[in-house]
Amino acid sequence: MIPAQFDYVRPTTLDEAVRALSEGGEDAKVLGGGQSLLPVLRLRLAAPTLLVDLGGIAELRGIREDGDRIAVGAMTTHHDVVHDELLHEHVGLLSDAAATVADPQVRHRGTLGGALSHADPAGDLGAVALALEAEFVLAGPGGRRTVAATEFFLDYFTTALAEDELLTEIRFPRYTGWKHHYEKFNRTAQAWSMVAVAVALKVDGGVISEARVGLTNMGTTPIRASGVEAALVGQPASEDSAKAAAAHATEGTSAPSDADAAADYREHLARVLTGRAVLTAAG
Amino acid sequence: MTVTEQTPAPTTTEVGRARTRKEDARLITGRSRYTDSITPHGTLHMHVVRSPLAHATITSVDTSSALRSPGVLGVYTAADLGVEAVGLPCAWPITPDMKAPQRPLLASRTVHFAGEGVAVVVARSAAAARDAADQVEIDYEPLEPVLDMEAALAEGATLVHPDLGTNENATWVFDSGAAGTGSSVDEAIAAAEADPDSIVVKRRFLQQRLIPAFMEPRSCVVDPTGEQITIWAATQVPHILRTMTTVTLGVPESKLRVIAPDVGGGFGGKIGVLPEEMLCVVLAQKTGKPVKWTETRSESLLAAHHGRDQIQDITITAKKDGTVTGLDVHLLADMGAYLGLVGPGVPILGAFMFNAIYKFPALKFTCTNVFTTKTLTDAYRGAGRPEATFAIERIMDELAVELGRDPMDLRRQNWITHGEFPFTTVVGLTYDSGNYEQATDQAMATFDYAGLRHEQEERRRSGDRIQLGIGISTFTEMCGLAPSRVLGSLDYGAGGWEAASIRMLATGKVEVITGASGHGQGHETAFSQIVADQLGVPYEDVEVLHGDTHVSPKGLDTYGSRSLVVGGIAIVKAAEKVVVKAKKIAAHLLEASEEDLEFSGGNFTVRGTDKGKSIQEIAFAAFMAHDYPEDMEPSLDSDAVYDPENFSFPHGTHLAAMEVDTETGQVRLRKYVCVDDVGTVVNPLIVEGQVHGGLAQGIAQALFEEATYDDQGTLVTGTLVDYTLPSAADLPSFDTAVVSTPATSNPLGVKGVGEAGTIASTPAIVNGVIDALRHLGVTNVEMPTTSQRVWRAIQAAKGNTTQETPTDVHSPGAGLGSIDPNNPQGEVL
């Protein structure tokens, strides 16, 4: 498993990284935690000429409060996301989902920004970022820009990031006091999601006042289950509401068919798991 | 684990002791030496350019660009190396008219499976060789792949090897009526069909293709710079590799030294003689330099031999009172594109195990081996016996359902009772010892069989989303390959003996040389315990040497649960000879007659006196050789070659509680209890480890693993993302226990344990899954019983039609999803 030859730089500031990436041209790739890129390189599915390793840039790590948002540096590891108190309190759904990513070794190396930039529709964190209406901060030669989650995920492994841009930060609104659950279904504990459902609910006096629902691996990108959300709002946090809303789970999806699950089975799973996720979150 | 065992003999202080493995401190702290860690000065590196197509004519090979790649010394096809006529050996011609194709080192005109080597690159570094491999341009004219065994045998089928005139390798038959070991199955079936008080049950079971997936990829280093050619190889069989290298390439055996250094698992997957190993020998001879090859994980999944892959058509006949009267077994076994070293014989090893622990009066076994354009199959943990055990334990459950009987009661009615041992079975094997009642009673008590049956009823009655199933497997296996004469009668190309030597060093330390070749089993520890008892020396004073033909010149290596029951007994025989020699010298030095000496705890004492000498003192005296008897040589060192007279027959009762989520189809193993009888336990910790790992592998066949090909014959499960090995997180804690009825066929009473868990567990799991769903109308779920398959089975039982499942399609997602299955090596396009 030997990758093709490439050059490697490890800048220590974001500006240096942007410059290196820009100078590297179209054959430069960004190395985050390496949990997706390195296997691709070793299998020679890609042969970039330059790797820009973001591991040396301190400003890309860490979780902080920023006004009404919680900002997570792109190079923050899943492990740190799982164990961060601020996120637990204000963005608990992200902590839930990050805890299900692969295995402890991967969670210690893999990063939130890397996973989102890679944009694998079977990845767990895209559906969470989409459902929670996160903002993505991108840095390029022309400066920084902020992209809404709805604009970030474009297709399989394709995002709004330009070739010379880096994801620097993901900013989440506060969901303080919301109930949440990430329901994941896979073949083995370390496997990618066959289907998964991310749910956050605001429950006031036993009634769901707001809902955020995202689906993993039900299309070419993470999917916001708006139909489910609409069906939940104003309803009691009950089993009946969960079941009724879950019937809307496949609206707007285009489930892939593969050896693990053909589309009809995935759709069935999406409905079942949505009901369970809502119930667990509400419970 | 709990151990119920016989009261140890007074001299036994080590056997039975749960010592931690003496080799582990080194292995788990990284002081290991695997083949790939060995790089003699000046080593060149080989990379194999493999066919992406399953079946194709090679129209051109252009190496010019690759030859210009930095660091490259050569790029060769079979013709360039002059090895077109060389064929790798198959040591098991199961029938006199068996059809055997030449298995080349590199494909010359036609490729016969995706992953077959077509050319090799030799370069100064592994990276340079890998880079240049991308530059080798090979043009292919595709041929129709041959993928389905039944279609391959049909009239007019595309032939994998046209010169053989057929895709049938051989058909091997055992008929207890014809052999005189039992009555005729054809008559039993005819009688059952005519008898209203009898029943005939027919089922088809599928044994999916599995990949051994050892941890350490295959690797070899060939150094031609010494007087002998030295081969380091990640192999289970250094001795066989040496002999077969001579057979294949004509290098004199005396000019070959084979070393298996630390080897990271094998499970049968490393008993082959590989084209890559032979190519490294050829290239080392050609270049005069050491040549190394280490495969990648993807190459390993693609080109290392696979296991299982059978279609099993089983007919069982019984009286309606439950008494079994006959078993008819028809197998199709997929050989893949070529014959492995013992590949054709693997299903035949199962022939004698279909009757299992039951008193069948008639059995017929017919197996047709078939060539396809897939990776070849060969031994994988259990080799033939897991397939047999699966079929018999599944059909016993089916028979129980047809008769409305509790599946355990039906088994109890038909098994050999403890008082009936030794028992000669319908296939002519004599089971020496066993106690199925004891193992079963203990397992059922630990499992709370009655309580779980009650819970199952409750869940069925309430229509619980989670249904409970109880899976049973009361298995036996034949271990300790094998009596040489039996192997001869099966046309196997070698004997089954094992060799051992014991060297008593001057300072009292003991070197034990074994022909078994451990690769993770714990040989060093278990053999040290045996020798410590035999010679009465401290455990720490025993050093076990193996895996180097210069150190251990004679041996038949490790497979088929034979290391302890054959290799261990050879060590005992050698130790007995050491004691005989030592006694002579002791008598001489103590000025006593041998008859007056007692040997106990490592000391020779003159009966009735306090005069004595330890065997370690005698070893020093023999070394000094100043004073020893006239009629002997001054040495205690001894050799032994042990050829067993019978197999050994471990058995056990395995019980699985399976929970099935009827909404999603998800299967969860809630509880697993097994009670195994492996005879005398040398080291309970190692036994538990072997059972534990074996269970994980057998359960993985039932729940997780399957090697799949697409309709073009490309391996779809080409990475460990797609070939889903379970991890600890996917399995519960197992409740394992051992009961011991010592084997009567060997002096230690041991039976072998390496394959037990794998053989026993698969049918227990599947029986449990189906038991959970039977009341819903589900009668079968193919392995692995994935959530999707279970869900579709439930839907089908309800009369709902569902989508056809693509077995060969990657979605772009799931990590490495952008892998193109038609480009399994991931060439940059």
> pLDDT tens digits for B804-823?
766 556 666 565 543 443 44
Q: Which residues of chain B lie closer than 8 angstroms to A272, CB-CB?
A: 663-664
B-chain residues near A243 (CB < 8 A): none
Residues of chain B contacting residue A39, judged by C-beta atoms under 8 Å apart: 719, 815-816
Calpha distance B703→B720 (Å, rounded): 16
The predicted structure's pLDDT at residue B147: 98
Residues of A in contact with B298 (CB under 8 A): 1, 43
pLDDT mean over B794-798: 96
* pLDDT tens-digit map of B46-90: 999 999 999 999 999 999 999 999 999 999 999 999 999 999 999
d(CA A141, CA A24): 12
**Which positions in chain B touch A122 (Cβ < 8 Å)?**
811, 813-815, 817
Q: Kindly report, residue by residue over B106-147, the tens digit of the pLDDT.
A: 999 999 999 999 999 999 999 999 999 999 999 999 999 999
pLDDT in tens, B542-579: 999 999 999 999 999 999 889 999 999 999 999 999 99
Which chain B residue is nearest to residue A254, measuring alpha carbons? Answer: B811
Whether residue B347 is preceded by a cis peptide bond, meaning omega within 30 degrees of 0, is: no
Residue in A closest to B297 by C-alpha: A1
Question: Which chain A residues are within 8 Å of B134, Cβ to Cβ?
Answer: 4, 44
**Confidence at A17, pLDDT banded by 50, 70, 90:** very high
User: How many A-B residue pairs are in contact by the CB < 8 A criterion?
Assistant: 131
Rg (CA), chain A: 19
Using the predicted structure, report yes or no on whether residue B826 has a pLDDT greater than 80: no
Min distance A120 CA to chain B CA atoms (Å): 5
B786 with A260: Cβ contact below 8 A: yes
Task: Pick the closest to residue B773 from B672, B654, B661 (CA basis).
Answer: B661
**CA B648 to centroid of chain Cα atoms:** 16
pLDDT above 80 for B627: yes
Query: pLDDT tens, A101-140?
Result: 999 999 999 999 999 999 999 999 999 999 999 999 999 9
Mutate to test the interface with A, among B69, B788, B791 (most CBs of A within 10 A): B788
Neighbour-count burial for B592-629, b at 16+ CB within 10 Å, e otherwise = beeeebebeebbbbbeeeeebbbbbbbbebbbeeeebe
Alpha helices by DSSP H, listed for B341-417, are: 346-349, 385-403, 407-414
B730 to chain A: which residues are within 8 Å by CB?
Answer: 188-189
Cβ neighbourhood burial of B196 (10 Å; 0-12, 13-18, 19+): exposed
Yes or no, beta carbons of A259 and B808 under 8 Å apart: yes
pLDDT single digits (tens) A254-270: 999 988 899 999 999 99
Q: Do A261 and B297 touch (CB under 8 A)?
A: no
Q: What pLDDT does residue B55 have?
A: 98
Mean pLDDT, rounded, for B649-660: 98
Q: Which residue has the tokens 């079963």?
A: B440
Facing residue for B727 by CB, picked from A45, A188, A192: A188
Closest CA to B52 of B138, B124, B157: B138
* Residues of chain B neighbouring A256 (CB-CB closer than 8 A): 811-813
The tally of CA atoms less than 13 A away on the side-chain side of residue A2 is 15
Q: Taking an 8 Å Cβ-Cβ cutoff, which residues of chain A contact chain B?
A: 1-2, 4-5, 36, 39-40, 43-47, 103, 120-123, 156-157, 185, 187-192, 194, 217, 220, 256-265, 268-269, 272-273
Nearest by CB to residue B724, choosing from A44, A46, A187, is A187
Q: Which residues of chain B make contact with A192, given a CB cutoff of 8 A?
A: 721, 813-815
Q: Are residues B722 and A121, on separate chains, in Cβ contact within 8 Å? A: no
Residues in chain B with CB shorter than 8 Å from the CB of A263 are 803
CB contact under 8 A, B730 and A259: no
Cβ distance B729 to A189 less than 8 Å, yes or no, reads yes
Place B682 in a pLDDT band, splitting at 50, 70 and 90.
very high
Q: Which residues in chain B touch residue A40, judged by CB atoms under 8 angstroms apart?
A: 816, 818
Q: Are B359 and B414 in contact (CB under 8 A)?
A: yes
pLDDT tens-place string over residues B732-763? 999 999 999 999 999 999 999 999 999 999 99
Q: What is residue B812's predicted lDDT score, i.e. its pLDDT?
A: 60
Better pLDDT: B100 or A283: B100
DSSP assignments along B199-239, one per residue: EEEEEEEEEEEE----SSPPEEEEE-SSSSEEEEE--S-HH
CA of B47 vs chain A CAs: smallest distance (Å): 11
Is A43 in contact with B791 (Cβ distance < 8 A)?
Answer: no
Residue B535's H or E segment, with its range, is helix B523-535
DSSP state of B450: H
pLDDT at B12: 64
Structure tokens at B370: 């078939």
In this model, does residue B661 exceed pLDDT 90? Answer: yes
Beta carbons of B650 and B758 less than 8 angstroms apart:
no
Output the CA–CA distances (angstroms, integers) from residue B478 to B107, B379, B388, B501, in the order listed. 37, 15, 11, 26
Chain A, nearest residue to B802 by Cα: A264
pLDDT digits (tens, 9 = 90+) for A180-228: 999 999 999 999 999 999 999 999 999 999 999 999 999 999 999 999 9
A187 with B708: Cβ contact below 8 A: no
Taking CA atoms, B181 is separated from B175, B176, B362, B364, in Å, by 9, 5, 8, 11
Of B296, B730, B817, the CB nearest to A188: B730
pLDDT for residue B313 is more than 90:
yes
Q: For the segment B500-522, what is each residue's pLDDT rounded down to a tens digit? A: 999 999 999 999 999 999 999 99
Radius of gyration of chain B (CA): 28
Contact state of A256 with B811 under an 8 Å Cβ cutoff: yes
Q: Which of B722, B788, B816 has the CB atom closest to A265's CB atom?
A: B788
B708 contacts in chain A (CB < 8 Å): 259
Give contacts of A157 with chain B, Cβ < 8 Å.
Answer: 812, 818
DSSP single-letter state for residue B566: I
Per-residue pLDDT, B806? 67
pLDDT of residue B816: 55
Q: For the residues of B281-340, what is the DSSP string, one character each?
A: HHHHHHHSS-EEEE--HHHHHHHS-BEEEEEEEEEEEEETTS-EEEEEEEEEEEEESS--
Distance CA(B561)–CA(B482), nearest Å, equals 10
Residue in chain B closest to A119 (alpha carbons) equals B813
Residue B635 has pLDDT above 80, yes or no: yes
Shortest Cα–Cα distance, B208 to chain A (Å): 15
What was the pLDDT predicted at B8? Answer: 39
Q: Greatest CA separation found in chain A? A: 61
> Would you call A189 and B819 a contact, using CB atoms and an 8 Å cutoff?
no
Is the pLDDT reported for residue B11 higher than 60?
no
> Are A259 and B727 in contact (CB < 8 Å)?
no
List the single residue in A with minimal CA-CA distance to B805.
Answer: A262
- Over residues A85-94, mean pLDDT: 98
Residue of A nearest to B717 (CA): A259
**Taking CB atoms and an 8 Å limit, are B664 and A121 in contact across chains?**
no
